[in-house]
Amino acid sequence: MFNRSQKEKFAYDFEQPVRELEKELEDLRYRQASDEEDLSAKIEELEDERDEKLREIFGNLNAYQRVKLARHPLRPQSLDYINEIFDEFIELHGDRRYGDDQAIVTGFARLEERRVMIVAQQKGRDVEEKKRRNFGMPEPEGYRKALLKMRLAEKCGLPVVCFIDTPGAAPSVGAEERGQAMAIAENIYSMAGLKTPIVLVVVGEGCSGGALGVGVGDRFAMLENAYYAVISPEGCAAILWKDGDKAPEAAEALKLTANDMLEQGIIDEVLPEPLGGAHRNPRQTAETLKDYIGRTLDDLRETPVDDLVEERYQRYRELGVYAP
């Protein structure tokens, strides 16, 4: 998908030591292939050194570094996972009111013998796709499309699988004029009572109401380097300190990492990523997601749907702390 120069361009500062080693490895492998020179011992030694460096760096990431990984330009996106995990994906379009918001992808799919409805946020990869999908920031018609398809799933007796990956709902004037806040609120309300199992996974960014609009369900997981927050670290820093450079401090204060969410009881499971992040081995990450979704759907299938709805309601009632 990406050539060597693009990989180097997209590497973050904390990834550079690893990229230098990988550059050496690529050169050695090229020499071995072209000159028929036996460099296998040197290659193996460098691979060990690279893996050790990966463990050293990625075993000690701070919150803001994980946010950056969640936004990594090479990170797999929802459609990458859908195409890898599911069979017979048939995309469904439109909200029957205004248009087809391509920041949200919906459709029927099959996971082995399990039939499901997919609702996924998609940012886009190149410039044209990003523009078409509004950088993964849904507008009201996107949330209405998602709810329409979830209600269809309820009618058909199909579970819903939601992939969350958004920097937030579209902040445009047009979105507000078309009822952005109401669309998100209606989704939250309706998903709470939807009579079918709902599985949620944050695969990248899970920011603000943009994530909440498709973020109510029975089981909730996050990839290891995803984040989930009421506001972006940059937005938080701009409000609290009037200084965007304070974003790393804001990220720590927001408690937005997957482990933070698990400790607070907001999610059920942290899904491990390959060493160095999901972008280093997308297929392995997809297998992890496939295993989680499959076993979770099997587990939810054993619970009567009315009990599921009641448990879902109680789950969200118990979140947070308040003083009477």
Tell me: the pLDDT tens digits for 207-220? 999 999 999 999 99
How many other C-beta atoms can be found within 10 angstroms of the C-beta atom of residue 242?
8
Is the separation of the CB atoms in 202 and 288 below 8 Å?
Answer: no
Tokens of 223: 């990839």
Distance between CA atoms of residues 23 and 96, nearest Å:
51
pLDDT band at 8 (very low <50, low <70, confident <90, very high): low
Residue 4, SS3 per DSSP: helix
pLDDT for 3 beyond 70: no
**Residue 20 backbone dihedrals phi, psi, to 5 degrees:** -60, -45
Q: Measured between alpha carbons, how far is residue 74 from residues 77, 280, 282 in Å?
A: 9, 8, 10
Distance between CA atoms of residues 230 and 232, nearest Å:
7
Per-residue pLDDT tens digits for 39-75: 788 888 888 888 888 888 898 899 999 999 999 999 9
Distance between CA atoms of residues 40 and 145, nearest Å:
54
Axis crossing angle, helix 233-240 with helix 63-70, rounded to the nearest 10? 130
pLDDT band at 111 (very low <50, low <70, confident <90, very high): very high
| The total number of residues written for the chain in this structure | 324
Per-residue pLDDT tens digits for 170-198: 999 999 999 999 999 999 999 999 999 99
Average pLDDT, the chain: 93
Axis crossing angle, helix 40-58 with helix 16-35, rounded to the nearest 10? 160
Tokens of 106: 């919906």
Residues 179-192: b if buried by 16+ CB within 10 A, e if exposed: bbeebbebbbeebb
Distance between CA atoms of residues 140 and 172, nearest Å:
11
CA nearest 161: which of 293, 267, 286?
Answer: 293
Determine the pLDDT at residue 44. 84
pLDDT for 279 beyond 90: yes
Distance between CA atoms of residues 200 and 179, nearest Å:
24
Determine the pLDDT at residue 142. 98
Distance between CA atoms of residues 19 and 258, nearest Å:
26
Determine the pLDDT at residue 2. 46
Axis crossing angle, helix 180-193 with helix 305-317, rounded to the nearest 10? 130
pLDDT for 249 beyond 70: yes
Determine the pLDDT at residue 36. 65
Residue predicted with more confidence, 14 or 115: 115
Tokens of 91: 């995309």
